[in-house]
């Protein structure tokens, strides 16, 4: 319709005549400014001035006090000028204008905004010519163009649809090559592991550790007695490990030599969402040894995320359960026990990397 307009927020407002607007107690910027107020939200209606520029009406219930620099000039006479619509606007320094979110047309254009409303303030250039300021809040956001071709509007990742698809095809081909490559790994040398922790921070401690090799053989599955933490109510609800259950379990100190030996013999150590697990286990190694350990670590979740961004843009969640259902893999045992999670991770990995093993 002719006498409606859509705002950037998505709201649609109606064109009103001055009389109807005053009946509704709507205020223009000019009136607000006289009251040392400024709008805090979208305009509620608009009118079109004779020169075609928009005059917005604001709801007096949605206004805020204008900052003092807008109206407080103790030693200066306030300069004003009258626009063709009859609206009076004030002279303002560029700095004050910017502080209120007012910019010149050129500046807004560079920020990809189009001005539709009449100016809200002005300044004089050194040659005394007038420079108008417009309110960014009511300027229209222009669609941005593709950073590669510059021709079409953006779709994803700052690219237009065509450039994005082109880019995706390249990444997908790289990803497919990466996933289908032959890695010739011996199954006994590839380990999957999962830790249960008292919490997610570095100061939290390990409560259980499960290690399985790629033949499905259980290498280690033990509860661990933490040294400092006495309770972990929040994570207990998730993994079900209670303080009682670990009271007689070995400590990490006792398990360390065995774990190091297991990891040292492995070529790859894989977990689902490895960063938290890694940060709790990396202390087993120092310096160069830690680097070598890190080089063996692979993250199944990262690989799954890469796969879905390349092949399944319809999927946006990447928990282990999501990966399982994406590949229609059944759970083996009770989900979210570290044993079941470790086996699940192993299965997801094998779907992602069908030629990972030598056999």
- Phi, psi values for residue 291, rounded to 5°: -60, -45
State in angstroms the smallest separation of the CB of 310 from Zn ion.
19
Cβ of residue 148: shortest distance to Zn ion, in angstroms?
A: 5
Nearest to 29 by CA among 140, 125, 137, 142: 137
What is the b/e burial string over 91-103, where b = at least 16 CB atoms within 10 angstroms of the residue's CB? bbeeebbeebebb
Kind plus residue range of the DSSP H or E element containing 347? helix 338-352
Among 11, 111, 149, 173, binds Zn ion (CB under 5 A): 149
With CB under 5 A as the contact rule, the residue among 27, 37, 160, 252 that binds Zn ion is: 160
Question: Closest CB to Zn ion among 140 and 154?
Answer: 154
**How far, in Å, CA of 349 to CA of 335, rounded?**
17
Q: Which is nearer to Zn ion, 165 or 291 (CB)?
A: 165
Torsion-angle region of residue 52: left (phi > 0), alpha (psi -120 to 50) or beta?
left
Distance CA 118, CA 55 (A): 6
CA distances from 138 to 33, 46, 113, 348 (A): 16, 11, 9, 50
Q: Which stretch binds Zn ion (CB under 5 A): 159-167, 197-205, 262-270, 288-296?
A: 159-167
Least distance CB 152 / Zn ion (angstroms) = 5
For the record, the structure tokens of 354 come out as 């069908």
Query: Based on CB atoms, which residue is closest to Zn ion, 145 or 235?
Result: 145
Candidate segments 30-38, 62-70, 144-152, 343-351, binder of Zn ion by CB under 5 A: 144-152
| Half-sphere exposure for 37 (CA within 13 Å, toward CB) | 17
State yes or no: residue 168 binds Zn ion (CB under 5 A): no
In terms of CB distance, is 165 or 176 closer to Zn ion? 165
Nearest CB to Zn ion, comparing residues 146 and 300 = 146
Among 257, 241, 244, which Cα is nearest to 205's? 241
146 interacts with Zn ion by CB under 5 A: yes
Q: Is 325 left (phi over 0), alpha (psi -120 to 50) or beta?
A: alpha
Residue 95 is encoded by which pair of tokens? 């700095």
Tokens 């004779």 label which residue? 50
Q: Is 169 in the site for Zn ion (CB under 5 A)?
A: no
How far apart (Å, rounded) are the C-alpha atoms in residues 99 and 138? 16
Phi, psi of 331 (to 5 degrees): -70, 145
Q: Considering only 85-93, 153-161, 201-209, 292-300, which stretch makes contact with Zn ion by CB under 5 A?
A: 153-161
Q: Which is nearer to Zn ion, 152 or 236 (CB)?
A: 152
Instruction: Tell me whether residue 146 or residue 281 sits nearer to Zn ion (CB atom).
Output: 146
Question: In the stretch 82-121, what mask flags binding to Zn ion with x, by CB under 5 A?
Answer: ----------------------------------------
Q: Minimum distance from CB of 314 to Zn ion (Å)? A: 22
Q: Judged by CB, which is closer to Zn ion: 35, or 147? A: 147
**Residue 306 Cβ vs Zn ion, minimum distance, rounded to whole Å:** 23
Beta carbon nearer to Zn ion, 146 or 259? 146
Burial level of 55, CB count in 10 A (0-12/13-18/19+)?
Answer: buried
Nearest distance, CB of residue 358 and Zn ion, angstroms: 44
Count, residues near Zn ion per rule CB under 5 A: 5
Give the residue, chosen from 163, 197, 255, 269, that forms a contact with Zn ion under the rule CB under 5 A. Answer: 163
Residues forming contacts to Zn ion in the complex (CB under 5 A) are 146, 148-149, 160, 163
């Amino acid at each position: 319709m002719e006498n409606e307009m859509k705002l950037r927020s998505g709201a649609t407002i109606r064109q009103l005549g001055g009389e109807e607007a005053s009946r509704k107690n709507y205020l223009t910027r000019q009136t607000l400014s006289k009251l040392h107020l400024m709008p805090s939200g979208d305009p509620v209606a608009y009118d079109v001035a004779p020169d075609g520029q928009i005059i917005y009406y604001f709801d007096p219930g949605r206004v805020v006090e204008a900052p003092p620099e807008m109206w407080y000039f103790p030693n200066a006479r306030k300069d004003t000028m009258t626009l063709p619509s009859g609206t009076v606007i004030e002279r303002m320094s560029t700095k004050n204008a910017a502080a209120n979110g007012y910019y010149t047309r050129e500046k807004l254009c560079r920020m990809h905004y189009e001005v539709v409303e009449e100016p809200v303030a002005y300044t004089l250039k050194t040659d005394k010519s007038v420079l108008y300021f417009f309110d960014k809040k009511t300027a229209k956001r222009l669609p941005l163009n593709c950073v590669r071709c510059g021709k079409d509007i953006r779709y994803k990742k700052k690219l237009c649809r065509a450039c994005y698809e082109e880019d995706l095809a390249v990444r997908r081909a790289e990803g497919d090559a990466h996933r289908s490559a032959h890695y010739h790994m011996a199954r006994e040398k590839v380990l999957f592991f999962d830790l249960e922790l008292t919490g997610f921070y570095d100061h939290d401690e390990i409560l259980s550790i499960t290690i399985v090799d790629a033949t499905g053989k259980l290498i280690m599955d033990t509860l661990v007695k933490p040294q400092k933490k006495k309770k972990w109510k929040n994570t207990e609800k998730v993994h079900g490990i209670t303080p009682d259950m670990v009271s007689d379990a070995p400590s990490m100190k006792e398990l360390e030599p065995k774990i190091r030996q297991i990891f040292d013999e492995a070529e790859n150590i894989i977990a689902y969402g490895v960063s938290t697990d890694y940060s709790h286990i990396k202390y087993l190694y120092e310096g160069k040894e830690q680097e070598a350990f890190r080089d063996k670590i692979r993250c199944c979740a990262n690989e799954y995320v890469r796969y879905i961004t390349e092949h399944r843009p319809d999927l946006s969640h990447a928990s282990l359960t999501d990966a399982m259902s994406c590949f229609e893999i059944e759970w083996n045992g009770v989900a979210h026990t570290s044993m079941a999670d470790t086996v699940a991770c192993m299965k997801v990995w094998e779907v992602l990397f069908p030629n990972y093993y030598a056999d």
